[in-house]
Amino acid sequence: MHGFVQNIGRTALNFLAAFGRITLFSVTAVRWIFTPPYYWQQLLRQIIDIGYFSLPVVGLTTLFSGMVLALQSYTGFARFSAEDTVATVVVLSVTRELGPVLAGLMVAGRIGASMAAEIGTMRVTDQIDALDTLSTRPIQYLVAPRLLAGTICLPFLVLVGDVIGVFGGYLVGVYRLGFNPSIYLARTLEYLEVSDVTLGLVKAAVFGFLIALMGCYHGYHSGRGAQGVGRATTNAVVSASILILIANYIVTTMFFEG
Amino acid sequence: MAVTPKIELSSVTKSFDANHVLKGINLTVAPQESLVIIGTSGCGKSVLMKCLNGLITPDQGSIKIDGQEILGQGRAALEDLRRRFGMTFQFGALFDSLSIWENVTFRLRHQQALDKSDARDIAAQTITQLGLAASVIDQYPAELSGGMQKRVALARAIVDKPEILLFDEPTSGLDPITGGVIDRLIIDARERLGATTVTISHDMASVRRIADKVAMVHNGVIIWAGPAEAMNDSGVPEVHQFVHGLAEGPLTNEKPAASPAKMATS
Ligand SMILES: Nc1ncnc2c1ncn2[C@@H]1O[C@H](COP(=O)(O)OP(=O)(O)OP(=O)(O)O)[C@@H](O)[C@H]1O
Ligand SMILES: [Mg+2]
Protein backbone atom coordinates (compact mmCIF):
# COMPACT_ATOMS: atom_id res chain seq x y z
CA MET A 1 0.00 0.00 0.00
CA HIS A 2 2.77 2.36 0.99
CA GLY A 3 4.73 1.44 -2.13
CA PHE A 4 1.64 1.96 -4.24
CA VAL A 5 1.10 5.50 -2.99
CA GLN A 6 4.78 6.21 -3.41
CA ASN A 7 4.61 5.02 -6.99
CA ILE A 8 1.68 7.26 -7.76
CA GLY A 9 3.50 10.16 -6.16
CA ARG A 10 6.65 9.51 -8.16
CA THR A 11 4.72 9.16 -11.41
CA ALA A 12 2.91 12.44 -10.76
CA LEU A 13 6.20 14.19 -10.02
CA ASN A 14 7.83 12.77 -13.14
CA PHE A 15 4.88 13.86 -15.17
CA LEU A 16 5.05 17.39 -13.80
CA ALA A 17 8.78 17.55 -14.41
CA ALA A 18 8.38 16.37 -18.00
CA PHE A 19 5.58 18.86 -18.53
CA GLY A 20 7.84 21.64 -17.27
CA ARG A 21 10.74 20.58 -19.49
CA ILE A 22 8.57 20.36 -22.58
CA THR A 23 7.00 23.75 -21.89
CA LEU A 24 10.42 25.34 -21.47
CA PHE A 25 11.64 23.67 -24.65
CA SER A 26 8.68 24.93 -26.66
CA VAL A 27 8.89 28.45 -25.27
CA THR A 28 12.56 28.58 -26.23
CA ALA A 29 11.85 27.25 -29.71
CA VAL A 30 8.93 29.60 -30.32
CA ARG A 31 11.02 32.56 -29.24
CA TRP A 32 13.72 31.59 -31.74
CA ILE A 33 11.10 31.44 -34.53
CA PHE A 34 10.77 35.21 -34.27
CA THR A 35 14.45 36.02 -33.77
CA PRO A 36 16.96 36.40 -36.61
CA PRO A 37 18.72 34.67 -38.24
CA TYR A 38 15.85 33.00 -40.08
CA TYR A 39 16.62 29.66 -41.67
CA TRP A 40 14.37 29.85 -44.74
CA GLN A 41 15.84 26.81 -46.42
CA GLN A 42 15.15 24.67 -43.38
CA LEU A 43 11.60 25.99 -43.22
CA LEU A 44 10.98 25.35 -46.89
CA ARG A 45 12.32 21.82 -46.65
CA GLN A 46 10.00 21.07 -43.74
CA ILE A 47 6.98 22.63 -45.43
CA ILE A 48 7.52 20.44 -48.47
CA ASP A 49 8.06 17.37 -46.35
CA ILE A 50 5.04 17.90 -44.10
CA GLY A 51 2.65 19.74 -46.40
CA TYR A 52 3.31 18.13 -49.75
CA PHE A 53 4.51 14.61 -49.06
CA SER A 54 1.77 13.95 -46.51
CA LEU A 55 -0.96 14.67 -49.05
CA PRO A 56 -1.37 11.06 -50.28
CA VAL A 57 -1.66 9.64 -46.77
CA VAL A 58 -4.11 12.28 -45.63
CA GLY A 59 -6.08 12.10 -48.86
CA LEU A 60 -6.51 8.33 -48.71
CA THR A 61 -7.43 8.36 -45.04
CA THR A 62 -10.09 11.03 -45.38
CA LEU A 63 -11.44 9.61 -48.64
CA PHE A 64 -12.23 6.24 -47.14
CA SER A 65 -13.44 7.74 -43.88
CA GLY A 66 -15.88 9.95 -45.75
CA MET A 67 -17.07 6.92 -47.71
CA VAL A 68 -17.61 4.71 -44.70
CA LEU A 69 -19.24 7.54 -42.82
CA ALA A 70 -21.88 7.94 -45.53
CA LEU A 71 -22.69 4.23 -45.36
CA GLN A 72 -22.82 4.07 -41.58
CA SER A 73 -24.89 7.18 -41.06
CA TYR A 74 -27.28 5.96 -43.74
CA THR A 75 -27.75 2.71 -41.82
CA GLY A 76 -28.38 4.62 -38.63
CA PHE A 77 -30.63 7.37 -39.90
CA ALA A 78 -32.69 5.08 -42.12
CA ARG A 79 -34.01 3.52 -38.92
CA PHE A 80 -36.02 6.66 -38.22
CA SER A 81 -36.47 7.72 -41.82
CA ALA A 82 -33.95 10.53 -41.67
CA GLU A 83 -31.79 9.41 -44.61
CA ASP A 84 -31.81 12.98 -45.92
CA THR A 85 -29.41 14.04 -43.21
CA VAL A 86 -26.55 11.85 -44.49
CA ALA A 87 -24.90 14.66 -46.46
CA THR A 88 -25.04 17.01 -43.48
CA VAL A 89 -23.75 14.41 -41.06
CA VAL A 90 -20.85 13.60 -43.37
CA VAL A 91 -19.74 17.18 -43.92
CA LEU A 92 -20.04 18.17 -40.27
CA SER A 93 -18.23 15.08 -38.98
CA VAL A 94 -15.47 15.43 -41.50
CA THR A 95 -14.77 19.13 -41.06
CA ARG A 96 -15.22 19.33 -37.30
CA GLU A 97 -13.80 16.02 -36.21
CA LEU A 98 -12.56 13.32 -38.54
CA GLY A 99 -10.53 15.48 -40.90
CA PRO A 100 -8.29 17.05 -38.26
CA VAL A 101 -8.04 14.01 -35.99
CA LEU A 102 -7.32 11.46 -38.71
CA ALA A 103 -4.92 13.75 -40.54
CA GLY A 104 -3.29 14.56 -37.21
CA LEU A 105 -2.83 10.91 -36.26
CA MET A 106 -1.51 9.95 -39.69
CA VAL A 107 0.92 12.85 -39.77
CA ALA A 108 1.97 12.05 -36.20
CA GLY A 109 3.03 8.62 -37.42
CA ARG A 110 4.77 9.94 -40.49
CA ILE A 111 6.29 13.24 -39.45
CA GLY A 112 6.59 12.82 -35.69
CA ALA A 113 8.58 9.65 -36.22
CA SER A 114 10.85 11.04 -38.91
CA MET A 115 11.60 14.21 -36.94
CA ALA A 116 12.45 12.23 -33.82
CA ALA A 117 14.62 9.81 -35.79
CA GLU A 118 16.45 12.54 -37.71
CA ILE A 119 17.11 14.82 -34.75
CA GLY A 120 17.84 11.83 -32.50
CA THR A 121 20.43 10.57 -34.95
CA MET A 122 21.96 14.02 -35.05
CA ARG A 123 22.13 13.96 -31.26
CA VAL A 124 23.82 10.59 -30.95
CA THR A 125 26.31 11.29 -33.75
CA ASP A 126 27.32 14.64 -32.17
CA GLN A 127 25.84 16.67 -35.04
CA ILE A 128 23.87 18.77 -32.57
CA ASP A 129 27.04 19.53 -30.63
CA ALA A 130 28.69 20.31 -33.96
CA LEU A 131 26.00 22.92 -34.66
CA ASP A 132 26.86 24.55 -31.35
CA THR A 133 30.55 24.62 -32.19
CA LEU A 134 29.68 26.24 -35.53
CA SER A 135 27.92 29.11 -33.76
CA THR A 136 24.43 27.97 -34.68
CA ARG A 137 21.76 27.47 -32.03
CA PRO A 138 20.52 23.92 -32.54
CA ILE A 139 17.01 24.70 -31.31
CA GLN A 140 16.73 27.67 -33.62
CA TYR A 141 18.13 25.79 -36.60
CA LEU A 142 16.41 22.44 -36.13
CA VAL A 143 13.36 22.89 -33.93
CA ALA A 144 11.97 26.34 -34.72
CA PRO A 145 11.45 25.71 -38.48
CA ARG A 146 9.81 22.36 -37.77
CA LEU A 147 7.37 23.82 -35.26
CA LEU A 148 6.45 26.61 -37.62
CA ALA A 149 6.10 24.28 -40.60
CA GLY A 150 3.94 21.85 -38.61
CA THR A 151 1.63 24.62 -37.45
CA ILE A 152 1.25 26.07 -40.95
CA CYS A 153 0.97 22.84 -42.91
CA LEU A 154 -1.55 20.86 -40.93
CA PRO A 155 -4.45 23.29 -41.53
CA PHE A 156 -3.65 23.17 -45.23
CA LEU A 157 -3.58 19.38 -45.21
CA VAL A 158 -6.84 19.25 -43.29
CA LEU A 159 -8.53 21.62 -45.70
CA VAL A 160 -7.57 19.35 -48.58
CA GLY A 161 -8.57 16.33 -46.51
CA ASP A 162 -11.98 17.87 -45.78
CA VAL A 163 -12.73 18.30 -49.46
CA ILE A 164 -11.62 14.77 -50.26
CA GLY A 165 -13.57 13.31 -47.32
CA VAL A 166 -16.75 15.09 -48.35
CA PHE A 167 -16.14 13.90 -51.89
CA GLY A 168 -15.86 10.32 -50.61
CA GLY A 169 -19.22 10.73 -48.91
CA TYR A 170 -20.65 12.14 -52.12
CA LEU A 171 -19.39 9.17 -54.16
CA VAL A 172 -21.04 6.69 -51.84
CA GLY A 173 -24.15 8.82 -51.44
CA VAL A 174 -24.72 9.19 -55.16
CA TYR A 175 -23.44 5.92 -56.61
CA ARG A 176 -24.25 3.52 -53.81
CA LEU A 177 -27.15 5.01 -51.91
CA GLY A 178 -28.84 6.59 -54.92
CA PHE A 179 -29.05 10.23 -53.78
CA ASN A 180 -29.62 12.86 -56.40
CA PRO A 181 -26.21 14.54 -56.97
CA SER A 182 -27.41 18.13 -56.87
CA ILE A 183 -29.59 17.56 -53.83
CA TYR A 184 -26.70 15.82 -52.04
CA LEU A 185 -24.44 18.77 -52.76
CA ALA A 186 -27.06 21.29 -51.68
CA ARG A 187 -27.56 19.38 -48.41
CA THR A 188 -23.82 19.31 -47.89
CA LEU A 189 -23.59 23.08 -47.99
CA GLU A 190 -26.94 23.94 -46.44
CA TYR A 191 -26.08 23.50 -42.78
CA LEU A 192 -22.33 23.95 -43.00
CA GLU A 193 -21.12 27.06 -41.19
CA VAL A 194 -17.82 28.87 -41.37
CA SER A 195 -17.28 28.10 -37.70
CA ASP A 196 -17.29 24.35 -38.45
CA VAL A 197 -14.41 24.75 -40.84
CA THR A 198 -12.60 27.18 -38.55
CA LEU A 199 -12.86 24.77 -35.66
CA GLY A 200 -11.28 22.05 -37.79
CA LEU A 201 -8.47 24.32 -38.89
CA VAL A 202 -7.72 25.55 -35.38
CA LYS A 203 -7.52 21.95 -34.27
CA ALA A 204 -5.22 21.19 -37.17
CA ALA A 205 -2.85 24.01 -36.27
CA VAL A 206 -2.70 22.85 -32.66
CA PHE A 207 -2.11 19.23 -33.73
CA GLY A 208 0.61 20.30 -36.18
CA PHE A 209 2.41 22.17 -33.43
CA LEU A 210 2.11 19.23 -31.02
CA ILE A 211 3.35 16.69 -33.57
CA ALA A 212 6.43 18.74 -34.40
CA LEU A 213 7.03 19.53 -30.74
CA MET A 214 6.94 15.87 -29.71
CA GLY A 215 9.13 14.79 -32.64
CA CYS A 216 11.71 17.47 -31.90
CA TYR A 217 11.63 17.17 -28.12
CA HIS A 218 12.10 13.42 -28.04
CA GLY A 219 14.70 13.49 -30.80
CA TYR A 220 16.63 16.31 -29.14
CA HIS A 221 16.74 14.44 -25.84
CA SER A 222 17.37 11.07 -27.41
CA GLY A 223 19.33 8.55 -25.34
CA ARG A 224 22.63 7.22 -26.61
CA GLY A 225 23.00 4.77 -29.46
CA ALA A 226 20.54 3.26 -31.93
CA GLN A 227 18.41 2.09 -29.02
CA GLY A 228 18.06 5.65 -27.77
CA VAL A 229 16.90 6.86 -31.17
CA GLY A 230 14.41 3.99 -31.43
CA ARG A 231 12.93 4.85 -28.07
CA ALA A 232 12.76 8.54 -28.96
CA THR A 233 10.85 7.71 -32.14
CA THR A 234 8.30 5.55 -30.35
CA ASN A 235 7.83 8.11 -27.60
CA ALA A 236 7.33 10.87 -30.14
CA VAL A 237 4.57 9.04 -31.99
CA VAL A 238 2.79 7.76 -28.89
CA SER A 239 2.91 11.07 -27.02
CA ALA A 240 1.88 13.07 -30.09
CA SER A 241 -1.10 10.77 -30.68
CA ILE A 242 -2.27 10.99 -27.09
CA LEU A 243 -1.82 14.75 -26.98
CA ILE A 244 -3.81 15.09 -30.21
CA LEU A 245 -6.76 13.27 -28.67
CA ILE A 246 -6.57 15.32 -25.47
CA ALA A 247 -6.18 18.61 -27.34
CA ASN A 248 -9.05 17.61 -29.60
CA TYR A 249 -11.36 17.43 -26.61
CA ILE A 250 -10.07 20.69 -25.14
CA VAL A 251 -10.41 22.67 -28.37
CA THR A 252 -13.87 21.22 -29.01
CA THR A 253 -14.95 22.30 -25.53
CA MET A 254 -13.64 25.80 -26.09
CA PHE A 255 -15.74 26.16 -29.25
CA PHE A 256 -18.76 24.37 -27.87
CA GLU A 257 -21.90 26.48 -27.61
CA GLY A 258 -24.66 24.49 -26.00
CA MET B 1 55.63 31.55 -16.75
CA ALA B 2 54.52 35.15 -16.82
CA VAL B 3 52.15 34.91 -19.77
CA THR B 4 48.48 34.16 -19.09
CA PRO B 5 47.70 30.62 -20.15
CA LYS B 6 45.41 30.33 -23.16
CA ILE B 7 43.44 27.63 -21.37
CA GLU B 8 43.45 26.96 -17.66
CA LEU B 9 41.40 24.31 -15.90
CA SER B 10 41.29 23.91 -12.15
CA SER B 11 39.53 21.20 -10.19
CA VAL B 12 37.09 20.43 -12.99
CA THR B 13 34.71 17.61 -12.09
CA LYS B 14 31.96 15.94 -14.09
CA SER B 15 29.74 12.97 -13.29
CA PHE B 16 27.02 11.26 -15.28
CA ASP B 17 24.73 9.91 -12.55
CA ALA B 18 26.96 7.56 -10.55
CA ASN B 19 29.71 7.55 -13.15
CA HIS B 20 32.36 9.98 -11.91
CA VAL B 21 34.23 10.69 -15.12
CA LEU B 22 36.30 13.76 -14.22
CA LYS B 23 37.36 14.01 -10.60
CA GLY B 24 39.37 17.22 -10.48
CA ILE B 25 41.24 18.10 -13.64
CA ASN B 26 44.01 20.68 -13.40
CA LEU B 27 45.64 21.64 -16.66
CA THR B 28 47.10 24.64 -18.46
CA VAL B 29 47.84 25.25 -22.11
CA ALA B 30 50.05 28.16 -23.14
CA PRO B 31 49.22 30.36 -26.14
CA GLN B 32 50.21 28.68 -29.41
CA GLU B 33 51.07 25.50 -27.63
CA SER B 34 50.09 22.09 -28.95
CA LEU B 35 48.73 19.92 -26.16
CA VAL B 36 48.00 16.25 -26.68
CA ILE B 37 45.76 14.39 -24.26
CA ILE B 38 46.31 10.65 -23.93
CA GLY B 39 44.63 8.02 -21.79
CA THR B 40 42.92 4.67 -21.99
CA SER B 41 39.61 4.26 -23.75
CA GLY B 42 36.67 5.55 -21.75
CA CYS B 43 38.76 7.56 -19.29
CA GLY B 44 36.96 10.79 -20.16
CA LYS B 45 39.14 12.49 -22.77
CA SER B 46 36.22 13.39 -25.03
CA VAL B 47 34.20 14.64 -22.07
CA LEU B 48 37.15 16.80 -20.98
CA MET B 49 37.46 18.27 -24.46
CA LYS B 50 33.75 19.08 -24.64
CA CYS B 51 34.07 21.00 -21.38
CA LEU B 52 36.55 23.39 -22.98
CA ASN B 53 34.02 25.01 -25.31
CA GLY B 54 31.00 24.53 -23.11
CA LEU B 55 29.35 21.58 -24.88
CA ILE B 56 29.39 19.85 -21.53
CA THR B 57 29.03 21.91 -18.37
CA PRO B 58 31.26 20.64 -15.57
CA ASP B 59 29.73 20.06 -12.15
CA GLN B 60 32.42 22.05 -10.42
CA GLY B 61 35.70 23.80 -11.02
CA SER B 62 36.91 26.63 -13.17
CA ILE B 63 37.85 26.94 -16.83
CA LYS B 64 39.56 30.11 -17.99
CA ILE B 65 40.26 31.10 -21.55
CA ASP B 66 42.78 33.97 -21.80
CA GLY B 67 42.32 34.44 -18.06
CA GLN B 68 38.52 34.82 -18.35
CA GLU B 69 36.25 32.44 -16.52
CA ILE B 70 33.84 30.77 -18.94
CA LEU B 71 31.65 28.81 -16.55
CA GLY B 72 28.36 30.34 -15.44
CA GLN B 73 28.55 33.18 -17.98
CA GLY B 74 25.21 32.71 -19.70
CA ARG B 75 24.23 31.89 -23.24
CA ALA B 76 25.46 35.00 -25.09
CA ALA B 77 28.95 34.85 -23.61
CA LEU B 78 29.17 31.18 -24.45
CA GLU B 79 28.16 31.86 -28.04
CA ASP B 80 30.84 34.54 -28.36
CA LEU B 81 33.38 32.19 -26.88
CA ARG B 82 32.55 29.40 -29.31
CA ARG B 83 33.28 31.60 -32.28
CA ARG B 84 36.93 31.45 -31.24
CA PHE B 85 36.98 27.66 -31.28
CA GLY B 86 37.11 25.07 -34.02
CA MET B 87 36.45 21.46 -33.16
CA THR B 88 36.39 18.05 -34.74
CA PHE B 89 34.52 15.16 -33.18
CA GLN B 90 35.70 11.62 -32.74
CA PHE B 91 33.21 10.28 -35.27
CA GLY B 92 33.16 13.17 -37.71
CA ALA B 93 29.70 14.59 -36.92
CA LEU B 94 29.22 15.91 -40.44
CA PHE B 95 25.70 17.07 -41.27
CA ASP B 96 24.14 14.21 -43.25
CA SER B 97 21.63 16.40 -45.00
CA LEU B 98 24.18 18.86 -46.37
CA SER B 99 26.73 18.43 -49.14
CA ILE B 100 30.45 18.57 -48.42
CA TRP B 101 30.88 22.19 -49.44
CA GLU B 102 27.87 23.19 -47.35
CA ASN B 103 29.35 21.32 -44.41
CA VAL B 104 32.79 22.87 -44.74
CA THR B 105 31.53 26.43 -45.10
CA PHE B 106 28.66 26.10 -42.62
CA ARG B 107 29.86 28.72 -40.17
CA LEU B 108 31.24 31.04 -42.85
CA ARG B 109 27.93 31.06 -44.71
CA HIS B 110 25.87 31.69 -41.61
CA GLN B 111 28.13 34.30 -40.07
CA GLN B 112 28.95 36.36 -43.14
CA ALA B 113 26.96 36.72 -46.33
CA LEU B 114 29.09 34.56 -48.58
CA ASP B 115 27.86 33.81 -52.06
CA LYS B 116 27.66 30.27 -53.30
CA SER B 117 30.56 30.26 -55.74
CA ASP B 118 32.93 31.83 -53.18
CA ALA B 119 31.84 29.30 -50.60
CA ARG B 120 32.45 26.44 -53.00
CA ASP B 121 35.89 27.79 -53.89
CA ILE B 122 36.85 28.05 -50.25
CA ALA B 123 35.59 24.54 -49.57
CA ALA B 124 37.47 23.09 -52.53
CA GLN B 125 40.66 24.86 -51.54
CA THR B 126 40.47 23.65 -47.95
CA ILE B 127 39.78 20.02 -48.74
CA THR B 128 42.50 19.78 -51.38
CA GLN B 129 44.94 20.92 -48.68
CA LEU B 130 43.89 17.79 -46.82
CA GLY B 131 44.55 15.52 -49.77
CA LEU B 132 40.98 15.15 -51.01
CA ALA B 133 39.91 15.73 -54.60
CA ALA B 134 38.09 19.01 -55.18
CA SER B 135 35.26 17.14 -56.93
CA VAL B 136 34.23 15.72 -53.55
CA ILE B 137 32.55 19.00 -52.58
CA ASP B 138 29.27 18.10 -54.27
CA GLN B 139 28.96 14.72 -52.61
CA TYR B 140 27.19 13.96 -49.35
CA PRO B 141 28.87 12.64 -46.18
CA ALA B 142 27.28 9.19 -46.51
CA GLU B 143 29.00 8.76 -49.88
CA LEU B 144 32.49 9.15 -48.41
CA SER B 145 34.68 6.66 -46.57
CA GLY B 146 35.24 7.12 -42.85
CA GLY B 147 38.70 8.56 -43.38
CA MET B 148 37.45 11.01 -45.99
CA GLN B 149 34.69 12.13 -43.63
CA LYS B 150 37.30 12.76 -40.96
CA ARG B 151 39.23 15.01 -43.28
CA VAL B 152 36.10 16.94 -44.27
CA ALA B 153 35.34 17.43 -40.58
CA LEU B 154 38.86 18.75 -40.14
CA ALA B 155 38.37 21.13 -43.05
CA ARG B 156 35.16 22.38 -41.43
CA ALA B 157 37.01 23.08 -38.18
CA ILE B 158 39.97 24.96 -39.64
CA VAL B 159 38.33 26.77 -42.57
CA ASP B 160 37.74 30.04 -40.73
CA LYS B 161 41.04 29.93 -38.84
CA PRO B 162 39.89 29.92 -35.20
CA GLU B 163 42.33 30.73 -32.40
CA ILE B 164 41.79 27.49 -30.53
CA LEU B 165 41.43 24.14 -32.26
CA LEU B 166 40.18 20.98 -30.59
CA PHE B 167 40.75 17.68 -32.38
CA ASP B 168 39.22 14.50 -31.00
CA GLU B 169 41.25 11.60 -32.44
CA PRO B 170 41.88 13.25 -35.81
CA THR B 171 44.07 10.46 -37.16
CA SER B 172 42.32 7.35 -35.89
CA GLY B 173 41.05 5.22 -38.75
CA LEU B 174 43.34 6.85 -41.29
CA ASP B 175 46.18 5.24 -43.21
CA PRO B 176 49.66 6.31 -42.04
CA ILE B 177 50.23 8.62 -44.98
CA THR B 178 47.00 10.52 -44.51
CA GLY B 179 47.70 10.51 -40.80
CA GLY B 180 50.98 12.23 -41.60
CA VAL B 181 49.15 14.84 -43.70
CA ILE B 182 46.81 15.57 -40.80
CA ASP B 183 49.71 15.85 -38.36
CA ARG B 184 51.38 18.31 -40.71
CA LEU B 185 48.18 20.33 -40.82
CA ILE B 186 47.91 20.51 -37.04
CA ILE B 187 51.51 21.69 -36.84
CA ASP B 188 50.78 24.24 -39.57
CA ALA B 189 47.72 25.55 -37.80
CA ARG B 190 49.89 26.43 -34.87
CA GLU B 191 52.94 27.68 -36.73
CA ARG B 192 51.22 29.62 -39.51
CA LEU B 193 47.93 30.67 -37.92
CA GLY B 194 49.19 30.96 -34.39
CA ALA B 195 46.42 28.69 -33.10
CA THR B 196 46.49 26.89 -29.79
CA THR B 197 45.63 23.24 -30.35
CA VAL B 198 44.37 20.49 -28.09
CA THR B 199 44.40 17.03 -29.62
CA ILE B 200 43.28 13.66 -28.30
CA SER B 201 45.31 10.84 -29.75
CA HIS B 202 46.11 7.19 -29.23
CA ASP B 203 48.75 7.16 -31.91
CA MET B 204 52.10 7.58 -30.16
CA ALA B 205 54.02 8.31 -33.37
CA SER B 206 51.62 11.13 -34.12
CA VAL B 207 51.80 12.36 -30.53
CA ARG B 208 55.58 12.66 -30.83
CA ARG B 209 55.24 14.68 -34.03
CA ILE B 210 52.63 17.19 -32.97
CA ALA B 211 52.89 17.61 -29.21
CA ASP B 212 54.67 20.36 -27.33
CA LYS B 213 53.05 19.14 -24.17
CA VAL B 214 51.43 15.84 -23.28
CA ALA B 215 48.88 15.19 -20.53
CA MET B 216 47.64 11.79 -19.47
CA VAL B 217 44.16 11.31 -17.99
CA HIS B 218 43.64 8.39 -15.67
CA ASN B 219 40.91 7.75 -13.09
CA GLY B 220 39.46 11.20 -13.63
CA VAL B 221 42.62 13.21 -12.99
CA ILE B 222 45.70 14.26 -14.93
CA ILE B 223 48.30 11.84 -13.61
CA TRP B 224 51.11 13.34 -15.61
CA ALA B 225 51.66 16.40 -17.78
CA GLY B 226 54.90 17.58 -19.25
CA PRO B 227 56.90 18.38 -22.35
CA ALA B 228 56.64 15.79 -25.10
CA GLU B 229 60.35 14.97 -24.85
CA ALA B 230 59.95 14.03 -21.18
CA MET B 231 57.20 11.51 -21.93
CA ASN B 232 59.59 8.55 -22.10
CA ASP B 233 61.05 9.08 -18.67
CA SER B 234 58.09 10.43 -16.77
CA GLY B 235 58.65 8.10 -13.85
CA VAL B 236 54.92 7.35 -13.72
CA PRO B 237 54.26 3.64 -14.33
CA GLU B 238 50.91 4.23 -16.08
CA VAL B 239 52.47 6.69 -18.50
CA HIS B 240 55.34 4.34 -19.14
CA GLN B 241 53.00 1.49 -19.93
CA PHE B 242 50.79 3.61 -22.18
CA VAL B 243 53.62 5.24 -24.09
CA HIS B 244 55.30 1.92 -24.76
CA GLY B 245 52.07 0.04 -25.37
CA LEU B 246 52.83 -2.70 -22.86
CA ALA B 247 50.25 -5.37 -22.14
CA GLU B 248 51.40 -5.76 -18.54
CA GLY B 249 51.28 -2.93 -16.04
CA PRO B 250 49.13 -0.86 -13.70
CA LEU B 251 46.56 0.06 -16.40
CA THR B 252 45.88 -3.55 -17.30
CA ASN B 253 45.32 -4.60 -13.70
CA GLU B 254 42.56 -2.08 -13.17
CA LYS B 255 40.38 -3.27 -16.01
CA PRO B 256 37.97 -5.34 -13.86
CA ALA B 257 37.42 -2.44 -11.48
CA ALA B 258 36.71 -0.01 -14.29
CA SER B 259 34.33 -2.06 -16.39
CA PRO B 260 31.27 -2.33 -14.09
CA ALA B 261 31.02 1.44 -13.99
CA LYS B 262 31.08 1.53 -17.79
CA MET B 263 28.47 -1.18 -18.10
CA ALA B 264 26.11 0.64 -15.80
CA THR B 265 25.98 3.64 -18.09
CA SER B 266 25.27 1.81 -21.32
N1 LIG C 1 26.58 12.28 -22.64
C2 LIG C 1 26.95 11.32 -21.80
N3 LIG C 1 26.06 10.79 -20.94
C4 LIG C 1 26.41 9.82 -20.06
N5 LIG C 1 27.64 9.32 -19.97
C6 LIG C 1 28.60 9.80 -20.79
C7 LIG C 1 28.29 10.82 -21.76
N8 LIG C 1 29.42 11.10 -22.44
C9 LIG C 1 30.37 10.29 -21.93
N10 LIG C 1 29.89 9.50 -20.96
C11 LIG C 1 30.66 8.51 -20.16
O12 LIG C 1 31.86 9.13 -19.78
C13 LIG C 1 32.93 8.21 -19.83
C14 LIG C 1 34.06 8.79 -20.63
O15 LIG C 1 33.66 8.91 -21.98
P16 LIG C 1 34.60 9.58 -23.09
O17 LIG C 1 33.83 9.53 -24.36
O18 LIG C 1 35.07 10.89 -22.61
O19 LIG C 1 35.83 8.57 -23.15
P20 LIG C 1 37.16 8.73 -24.01
O21 LIG C 1 38.28 8.88 -23.05
O22 LIG C 1 36.98 9.78 -25.03
O23 LIG C 1 37.25 7.29 -24.67
P24 LIG C 1 37.70 6.88 -26.15
O25 LIG C 1 39.18 6.89 -26.16
O26 LIG C 1 37.16 5.51 -26.30
O27 LIG C 1 37.08 7.87 -27.07
C28 LIG C 1 32.36 6.92 -20.38
O29 LIG C 1 32.16 6.05 -19.28
C30 LIG C 1 31.05 7.32 -20.98
O31 LIG C 1 30.11 6.28 -20.85
MG1 LIG D 1 36.70 9.83 -27.02
Give tens-digit pLDDT for B153-180.
Answer: 999 999 989 999 999 999 888 888 888 9
Q: Can you give the pLDDT at residue B126?
A: 92
Alpha-carbon span A117 to A62, nearest angstrom: 27
Kindly state the average pLDDT of the residues B238-249. Answer: 86
Cα A227 from Cα A214, distance rounded (Å): 18
Task: Give the H/E segment covering residue B15.
Answer: strand B7-16
B46-52: average pLDDT: 95
DSSP A128: H
Least confident of A36-50, A54-68, A239-253, B249-263: B249-263
Average pLDDT over residues B103-125: 90
- DSSP assignment, residue A34? T
Q: By mean pLDDT, which of A100-114, A156-170, B241-255 is the weakest? A: B241-255
Provide CB contacts within 8 A for A21, sequence distance 6+: none
pLDDT in tens, A86-112: 999 999 999 999 999 999 999 999 999
Average pLDDT over residues A67-80: 91
- Look at residue B254 in the predicted model and tell me its pLDDT: 52
Q: Verify whether ligand 1 is closer than 6 Å to residue B90 (CB atom).
A: yes
* Angle between the N-to-C axes of helices B176-193 and B146-158, in degrees from 0 to 180, rounded to the nearest 10: 0
**Closest B-chain CA to A227:** B266
Q: Full-prediction pTM beyond 0.80? A: yes
pLDDT at B220: 92
B110 lies within 8 A of chain A by CB: yes
C-alpha distance from B226 to closest chain A C-alpha (Å): 28
Taking an 8 Å cut-off on Cβ atoms, the answer to whether A127 and B95 are in contact is yes
User: Does residue B264 have a pLDDT over 80?
Assistant: no
Residue B213 has pLDDT above 60, yes or no: yes
Q: Which atom of ligand 1 is nearest to the CA of B19?
A: 29
Count CB atoms within 10 A of the CB of residue A75.
11
With beta carbons under 8 A apart, name residues in chain B contacting A224: 266
State yes or no: pLDDT of B262 exceeds 80: no
Per-residue model confidence (pLDDT) at position B214:
94
CA of B42 to the centre of ligand 2 (A): 7
Q: Which ligand is nearest to the CA of B48?
A: 1
* Omega of the bond leading into B58 within 30 degrees of 0 (cis): no
Measure CA of the first residue to CA of the last residue in chain B; give whole Å: 43
The Cα–Cα gap between B134 and B121 comes to: 9
Is the pLDDT at A50 greater than 70? The verdict is: yes
The reply to whether ligand 1 has any atom less than 6 angstroms from the CB of B19 is yes
Contact B110 A134 (CB under 8 A): yes
Beta-bridge mates of residue B225 = B215
Residue B223 to residues A22, A130, B230, B261: CA-CA distances in angstroms?
A: 42, 29, 14, 20
Nearest CA in chain B to A226: B266
List of chain A residues whose C-beta atoms are within 8 Å of the C-beta of residue B94: 127, 130
* Mean pLDDT value across chain A: 94
Nearest residue CA, atom 26 of ligand 1?
A: B41
Instruction: Say whether residue B167 is in contact with chain A using an 8 A CB cutoff.
Output: no
Give yes or no for residue B1 having a pLDDT over 60: no
Do A210 and A240 touch, CB atoms closer than 8 A?
yes
CA distance A35 to chain B (A): 14
Indicate if the pLDDT at residue B212 is higher than 60: yes
Cβ count near B121 (within 10 Å): 15
Say if the Cβ atoms of A135 and B95 lie within 8 Å. no
Among A75-84, A130-139, A159-168, name the one with the lowest average pLDDT.
A75-84
Q: Does pLDDT of B259 surpass 80?
A: no
Write out pLDDT tens, residues A195-253: 999 999 999 999 999 999 999 999 999 999 999 999 999 999 999 999 999 999 999 99
Distance between CA B9 and CA B166 in Å, rounded? Answer: 15
Can you tell me the ipTM of this complex? 0.88
Is B41 close to ligand 1, i.e. is its CB under 6 Å away?
A: yes
The yes-or-no verdict on residue A258 having pLDDT over 90 is: no
- Smallest-distance ligand from the CA of B216: 1
pLDDT band of residue B131 (cuts 50, 70, 90) is confident
Ligand 1 pocket test, candidate residues B12, B13, B14, B21, most atoms within 8 A of CB:
B21
B261 pLDDT more than 80: no
CA nearest ligand 1 atom 20, residue:
B42
**For A141, nearest residue in chain B (alpha carbons):** B110
- Indicate whether residue B45 lines ligand 1 (CB < 6 A): yes
pLDDT at position B253: 59
Residues of A in contact with B49 (CB under 8 A): none
